[in-house]
Amino acid sequence: MKPSLSITTLTAALLLAGCQAVNTTSGGSVGVERKQYMFSALSTDEVNQMYAQSYQQTLKEASSQGALDKNSAEAKRLQRVADRLIKQAPLFRPDAAQWQWEVNLIKSPELNANCGPGGKIIFYTGIIDKLNLTDDEIAAVMGHEIAHALREHGREAMSKAYGVNLAKQGAAALLGVSSDQMALADAAVNYGMTLPNSRGNENEADLIGLELAARAGYNPNAAVSLWQKMAKASEGAPPEFMSTHPSSSSRIASLQAAIPKVMPLYQQAKKG
């Protein structure tokens, strides 16, 4: 048992080395206050630039296939929702006002959407069309994805992966452990740290996204109807414990508990 304990201790030490504690966003009405640790050598600007290159490559490929939709009524609808949500983003982090936001729609059957570091948003027509999303539900999806970018969950995951790599190499070299022992350490890292934190990140994105949408004048109850539709479309999904996303039932319960916190913001926005 001692080697495993040593691996755990060394892993923790190496993970913290070179890390800095950051508060990427304010807590908002939903109270997301978790402290995050990022590698100081991996700056926000660097991650944003890396993702911007990848984003442009994705758009280039979609355009070459005739799948990049810039001018349809659906694309314009998406942009209108985005404009309202982006306007609220600086309330959680002021520097988001200087991000080079982009919103693009790609013709694809995928039930997917994302907002990468630095505010690069992509929606696929499949999620809008197959789920027959209302504007409120589009705002729920987009708010969730924007929240991931505001919280820098991508940079956080990169920092964690880099730290785990260093820890594994250091533990193997200094402790002389076998590959089997390192495999056990890998499993512990995967199930004891990575997956639960991923679910935690999803919950943070749900809560901040809920508030962004409410402040933009979109009905927060749409987040519940969205995930009800998603659950129906995702029958046969893996058990929650093995997934990086919360199950639809637990996600919906968490959203329902948070809606009273943001409903006054929605009502105020509607009056304005």
Longest dimension (CA), the chain: 66
Residue 198 lies in a domain: yes
- Chain-centroid distance, C-alpha 157: 10
pLDDT surpassing 80 at residue 253:
yes
Task: Work out the percent of the chain whose per-residue pLDDT is above 70.
Answer: 75
Using one digit for the tens of pLDDT, what is the confidence trace for 187-220? 444 434 444 447 889 999 999 999 999 999 999 9
Using 50, 70 and 90 to split pLDDT, how confident is the model at 245?
A: low
Whole-angstrom distance, CA of residue 27 vs CA of residue 23: 9
pLDDT beyond 50 at 174 = no
- Residue 21 belongs to a domain: no
161 lies in a domain? no
> What number is the average pLDDT over the span 82-93?
98
CA 143 to CA 139: how far, in whole Å?
A: 6
pLDDT value of residue 98: 97
> What pLDDT, on a 0 to 100 scale, did the predictor assign at position 70?
96
Domain membership flag for residue 104? yes
| pLDDT single digits (tens) 12-44 | 444 455 678 888 999 999 999 999 988 877 889
User: For the chain, what is the domain count?
Assistant: 1
Is 178 a member of any domain? no
Assess if residue 7 is contained within a domain. Answer: no
In whole angstroms, give the CA distance from residue 30 to residue 268: 16
Q: How many Å is the Cα radius of gyration of the chain? A: 20
At residue 163, the pLDDT reads 58
Mean pLDDT of 52-63: 96
pLDDT exceeds cutoff 90 at 94: yes
Can you tell me the distance from the alpha carbon of 36 to that of 25, in angstroms, rounded to the nearest whole number?
Answer: 10
108-125 per-position pLDDT tens digit: 999 999 999 999 999 999
Round the average pLDDT of the chain to a whole number and report it.
Answer: 83
Q: Using the predicted structure, report yes or no on whether residue 1 has a pLDDT greater than 60.
A: no
Two tokens at 45? 């600007």
Give 231's pLDDT tier (boundaries 50, 70, 90): confident
| Domain membership of residue 33 as a residue range | 29-154+187-268
Give the model's pLDDT for residue 165.
58
In a domain? residue 74: yes
Q: Is the pLDDT of residue 3 over 60?
A: no
pTM, entire model: 0.82
In a domain, 182, yes or no: no
At 157 the pLDDT is: 83
